Copies of this chain bind each other. A is one copy, B any other.
Amino acid sequence: MWQELDIQQGDKRSLARAITLVENEYPGFEDYLRSLNGQKDIPVIGITGPPGAGKSTLVDQMIRLLVEKGERVAVLCVDPSSPFHRGAILGDRVRMSDWYDHPSVFIRSLATRGHFGGLSQKMIEITELLRSTPVDRILIETVGVGQSEIEIAGLADTTIVVVVPEAGDEIQAMKSGLMEIADIFVVNKSDRPEADKFVKDLHMMMSNGDHPQIPVIKTIANQNEGTLQLYDAIVEHQRSPALSDKKAWLMTEKVWELIQSYKMRTVNKEKIREAVKDQLASGKANIYAVVDEFKAL
């Protein structure tokens, strides 16, 4: 099964199949991942931001630009918004469908949590898989705000946070979370009248001394404006001296995640469920009694 997969030569069908097998934790998937051993230092670009910011349109334009520059691009679209669904919600991803059949582009949606591990584990594994294929750049788009940024920040060398010009207290609060993970800010839909004020505010928020100067790029993704400037900012970030520290941090976080998922394999959730039912049936609800029963396994 595994030996037929010719992903290191760039066979897209093999790659798609390999991802499915890893996603579903087909027996031997970890040995397979280990065996690849060809993980090259391919730039991983993360694109995140709140809903409706135009991330997918921007990714679409980025693919176009990279393909025009002769690059081979792998795109991973991660949708953590539906925790209990198996399978990705496509939503506005169809916009990128122009590229599905292009020979230089590989696109994959991901929302599956593995049986053993969570979505971040799968993101790490599939990114490692992609790094073993002949691509020049990996783009990872995540929908959503909240903890999903930790996941993308834990994966991408360069994290792009896409926002649109708007106000609101909670958006402000969220931005300070986004600010901590952003290597580049994109203000999309920047033809809106309030855009300039917004960009100014953004610069002001970031000039409190704690943060290094983060570039702010204005784009109008659906008119393909600003894409080139964004590309230049990415290239510059990829060259920055701080990147090697970030890569070490990233890899540490990934190792941590993978160890965690490995350690939990010996814990049988079904048995916990039984113990919990017994605990509840006995009229008690002492969570630590059940934890203590299983923690040594």
Residues of A within 8 A of B (CB): 30, 33-34, 37, 39, 41, 50-52, 79-85, 89, 91-92, 124, 128, 143-151, 153, 168-174, 176-177, 180-181, 244, 247-249, 251-252, 254-256, 258-260, 262-264, 267, 269, 272-273, 275-277, 279-280, 285-288, 290-291, 294-295
Contacts and interface: CB of A to CB of B under 8 A. Distances in A.
B83 A147 contact: yes
A58 B251 CA distance: 42
A188 to B, nearest CB: 13
A248 B52 contact: no
Given A144-B145, A291-B258, A294-B255, A248 B277 contact: yes
User: Would you list the 7 A-B pairs with minimal beta carbon distance, nearest first?
Assistant: A146-B146, A144-B146, A82-B177, A147-B147, A51-B170, A81-B177, A91-B173
Given A34-B288, A81-B145, A264 B262 contact: no
A25 B182 CA distance: 29
21 contacts: A33-B288, A39-B285, A39-B286, A51-B170, A51-B174, A80-B147, A82-B177, A143-B170, A144-B145, A251-B290, A252-B269, A252-B273, A252-B276, A255-B276, A255-B287, A255-B290, A258-B288, A258-B291, A259-B264, A259-B267, A259-B295
The number of times this chain is found in the oligomer is 2
Nearest to A151: B147
A41 B286 CA distance: 10
A173 B295 contact: no
A47 to B, nearest CB: 14
A177 B83 contact: yes
Contact of A52 (B171, B177, B269): B171
A276 B290 contact: no
A282 to B, nearest CB: 13
B79 A173 contact: yes
B267 A251 contact: no
B273 A248 contact: yes
Given A80-B146, A285-B39, A291 B259 contact: yes
A244 B272 CA distance: 16
Nearest to A131: B285
Nearest to A259: B295
Contacts of A146: 80-81, 143-148
A169 B91 contact: yes
A180 B102 CA distance: 36
Given A80-B146, A146-B148, A294-B259, A41 B285 contact: yes
Contacts of A251: 276, 279-280, 285, 287, 290
Nearest to A267: B259
B168 A51 contact: yes
A147 B273 CA distance: 23
Given A83-B147, A144-B146, 12 more contacts: A39-B285, A82-B177, A85-B180, A143-B174, A147-B147, A248-B277, A255-B275, A258-B287, A258-B295, A260-B264, A263-B263, A263-B264
